[in-house]
Structure 1
């Protein structure tokens, strides 16, 4: 027997009221039920569910049911959104690529639709569906960045960008930074800025370099060989060009050694106007002061316990320790001397310096052959 059509609540209530009227007219319940076209079990089921209701009450009941369904859906959606956000809570989603990965993770783990995940996480669906296409040279560039990062472990992406440009890449800093972070490479920690020493009258006691060979600075750095024995390094820096003029390494360095290093440098580069240093015993020795004055230079001593006044050479010392001394084990003093001099040459000729527009302090120059009859000249190149 075929089932009849489904009745709406309004129709059911109307039929129940019809039965009530027929019974009130003297008919039996069975006759009244047959007149509305349903069976007695159906009638009694309807009366249990809708008995005593009027049409306007049925309409209100339907509205309440719709409102209840809407609230249940809203609560369900909010609960699901909370679950999605909790699932995606690890890490900041500051880029479309991060959000794309997060949407894929949420869809895979929670089984929600991509549309809903994109809406909750703030990702446009076209951005989600359109896979990013890198440049044709992306793989080679990434390999070069990783290779440079391995070779120069303490360089950040800015210096790596400068090295890539020197190697022939036409690439901007933002692209290198994106690949740098994508590959999980770490940027070296920046040194905290130090204050300067000020006199009571508000003037800063600092001799600022304004030209080549105006102010040189020197200082000592200590380290140890594998056997635990100490050795010292005398570092000399031109504050204007940032060039590392010399690094003399020996077990002991006295005032006589200081004079010997300065004499070699004065002969090779000329005599500077001032030499800045702290008030260590090797620098304030009368023999050193007399020798410096005798060749026409002047000493510029910083205040005691104020290394920030000798900031150029202190910064150089920090780079020396960070990029070389902390990463090398020197078996012998001779090995240390060779590696330190090799690093000094790299520092001067190759290493990009941020204060010089990411150019090295003293790039090597080579003679280029004449072109089209023109005379040969010196052109600075980076190896």
Structure 2
């Protein structure tokens, strides 16, 4: 033990000597002529500001935005916000204490002389205090803080009645949103756009149609896995009306990053009006017979448009992969789950280049269809609005 302690003291002496040597060199470098010193100080000051400022800017850039958990917009997200800051603050305190101890070991000039028994006693204190008691206290405190946060996302009975129910189905790589009607069956179906009432809890019934996905609206609450063959329910609430970003948070294939979800929270009256518009009977646009015939031949086997004539559907193609419902595609803000903004000509462009814009998506290429036909289908689909 004495030999080990002696070797440790020698190593510390060498490190201290090296540190002193470097400090002498730095002092000599600073002790330059007046002009050189002032110039170098200005340059060093600017570089120091840049070096310290860039990480700070990068840190602050994550404190806002539609995908930031540090900009909460709901009660669940707010609770997680404070848990995050508590964890961050505690970890910073621990890190600062460790850095202070580390610097103290370099500044200490002499190695204290202790007996082997004293060395063992000090070692046990650090092992028990830093290796057992500190982690145990941290875990208990985290459980105390996080338990109410997790409970707020559980669909428990509400005193004022049942919460609004919305079903979300994850596909590779898009989102299907179903709104149950009076008999429990979905009577409004849309894709890649989730509309919810603001100011009240909403229960999301989450399922997956193929692989494991994860439903995550950062500004409203925590994420929840979507496992094939099982369903789970997540309760979230938006404080005020607004638009929020959502993302699949579980790697689900090549286009995982292009599986975005546009979320809108509306006042209850606007939400009811939005549903009523989509529940109203549909009438297809007149004078688009060629586009409808082309859609029935090439697209209707996988995609649905409410009110589309059954006699025009050519379903001879063997397939088992349903595509998004296109009944209200003209009113959606994006195409391809966030790949393209919805604007004039966007649908036709997507039909021509979808395998380039989102390689590997389940829709087959349309090389066998002429450009004019694709443009007619796209222009007709743009009229699909409530």
Q: Same fold (TM over 0.5)?
A: no
- Provide the TM-score with structure 1 as the length reference: 0.22
Structure showing greater radius of gyration is 1
Q: Which has the higher contact order (CA 8 A, sep 6+)?
A: 2
- Provide the TM-score with structure 2 as the length reference: 0.22
Q: Which has the higher strand share?
A: 2
